[in-house]
Amino acid sequence: MGWSHLHPALIHFVVGIGMVLLIWDINRLHLSSGSSGGKGAFERVLEGWLGLLLLGVGTGWIALANDTLLQHGGAEIYLGSVHGKMGLLVLGLATARVFGGATPRSRRLRQFWTGLDIGLLLLLSGTALLGEWLVFRLGLGVTGVSF
């Protein structure tokens, strides 16, 4: 089993957690008045998600380097490269979100975090859909597919 099989198995779980987490956070920020109720549990889930996201992006980059995902008859597949860069952008923004704090007190900062969460949700969805398209539409990373 190559890295290209490990990456989707891990990342589907990470994307699912991320979707729930970001929607939870958008709702929490919208309802929050700056109090820190439930902050500890949310921060732990957020940090756990970041760790899993790091593993997911890491296995994706290993797959691109070691399997046939990036190569198509010796030529680079442009969308495979775009998918990898989108994954890094998700990781960077999620890292900023984790280290930025869980419950900002000011209304303006809560609005900023809500916007960041919505952006992350859209970027995460787009990255996942592009990955699905690469595997199920183009057959990349599937054993036995000839290029």
Q: What is the pLDDT of residues 100-128, one digit of tens each?
A: 877 777 888 888 989 999 999 999 999 98
Please check whether residue 144 lies inside any domain of the structure.
Answer: no
Please check whether residue 18 lies inside any domain of the structure.
Answer: yes
pLDDT of residue 146: 42
pLDDT of residue 76: 60
Please check whether residue 147 lies inside any domain of the structure.
Answer: no
Query: What is the tally of structural domains in the chain?
Result: 1
Please check whether residue 145 lies inside any domain of the structure.
Answer: no
Please check whether residue 123 lies inside any domain of the structure.
Answer: yes
Domain that holds residue 10: 3-31+38-137
Extract the tokens encoding 37: 């109720």
List, in order, residues 6 or more apart from 87 with CB less than 8 Å away: 56, 57, 60, 61, 127
User: Is residue 102 a contact partner of residue 43, using CB atoms and an 8 Å limit?
Assistant: yes
Lowest mean pLDDT among 28-32, 75-79, 82-86, 139-143: 139-143
Rounded to an integer, what distance in angstroms lies between the CA atom of residue 116 and that of residue 1? 36
For the four alpha carbons of 113, 18, 95 and 38, in that order, the dihedral sign comes to positive
134 has a pLDDT exceeding 70:
yes
Residue 100: phi and psi, rounded to 5, are: -80, -10
Please check whether residue 74 lies inside any domain of the structure.
Answer: yes
pTM of the model as a whole: 0.76
pLDDT of residue 110: 86
pLDDT of residue 13: 87
- Which residue carries 């030529």 as its tokens? 75
Rounded to an integer, what distance in angstroms lies between the CA atom of residue 146 and that of residue 139? 9
